[in-house]
Amino acid sequence: GAGVSQSPSNKVTEKGKDVELRCDPISGHTALYWYRQRLGQGLEFLIYFQGNSAPDKSGLPSDRFSAERTGESVSTLTIQRTQQEDSAVYLCASSPSNRAVYGYTFGSGTRLTVV
């Protein structure tokens, strides 16, 4: 597609429920990142995928968070047993292999509200 697409754009869920967030990267982009941005705060790294390599999960805040990506396609971020502190905007970015030249393109994000 022309840009990075994220869905849903907004999600309100009850505490304790599981949610799944989707990121559709730009076609052909090998690298994909997930970031979290809490209200009024900076971007917090969550997880990084590069092609078929093992993902860098070092930013996931707890074992309630997991993410998957098959090859260079869609990625899903799953949050189990959501808590109120999970409320944030979840941003996805993708980049081609020569990202030193082209950098990263971000989606519009998913605003998650846990009530």
In the complex, which residues of this chain contact another protein (CB under 8 A)? 31, 33, 35, 42-43, 45, 48, 50, 56, 91, 93, 99-109, 111
One DSSP character per residue, the chain reads --S-EEE-SEEEE-TT--EEEEEEPPTT--EEEEEEE-TTS-EEEEEEEETTSPPB-TT--STTEEEEE-TTS-EEEEE-S--GGG-EEEEEEEE-TTHHHH--EE---EEEEE-
Residue 19 or 32 having the CB closest to another protein: 32
Residue 32 or 114 having the CB closest to another protein: 32
Residue 80 or 105 having the CB closest to another protein: 105
Question: Smallest distance from the beta carbon of 108 to another protein, in angstroms?
Answer: 4
